[in-house]
Chains A and B, each alone.
Chain A
């Protein structure tokens, strides 16, 4: 199972992903880690960035309909935006990557959060 590193940005709460060099808004630009050890190291480093992001954590990623997508439904909503308002959130920008993510389904067989944190 591959992993991506995600968090919410401190200043505005926006969902962000680690690209390997920076925090970015689009899941399509997220770095996907084949090695869990590398992913964990990136997560540990991100925990030190306390004035940039809140609660960084790893999510599981799998190929769905030929594209990489977060395994859990929750994480796909985070990567897209609320399903009742397609005009809000990242999905509002449209594009092929967003469409593919919106179509991803069925592969979910775990919570998708490597370390499940319940938070407000």
Chain B
């Protein structure tokens, strides 16, 4: 089972994954935390929402994250799949989940997530990942800290260069 890494306050820690992944045909367990497909969420949403355990949904890259709108307040986890590391749809899905739906629960990258993508994952709003390359939490934390500055607003709290420049209007001129 792949390791789960959670990001919090600039740190990355290995964590236990409490969720049970349910196939669409699996019966709903009475208790416990579950992850279901979007299709199952849309058809059995009421039953799922009425359970006591935590509720997660897993989306493929072609699925519309805005379809989660009616459930955004009830969901504890959205897992977004990177089918290949070159497939960047999950980054847009993640930003839409955070910025358009206002989702504040766990946003997890699953599939071909590599440590080289740590910074862009975090900047797009992911706060958990199951790495495909077996890399350790320390490597992920280091990779998110490689850049002192960024050039654009995204789903994280970082100020872009333009805002830093406003705060320090007399930034020295380089070469």
- Touch between A and B in complex, CB under 8 Å? no
Interface residues of B (CB under 8 A from A): none
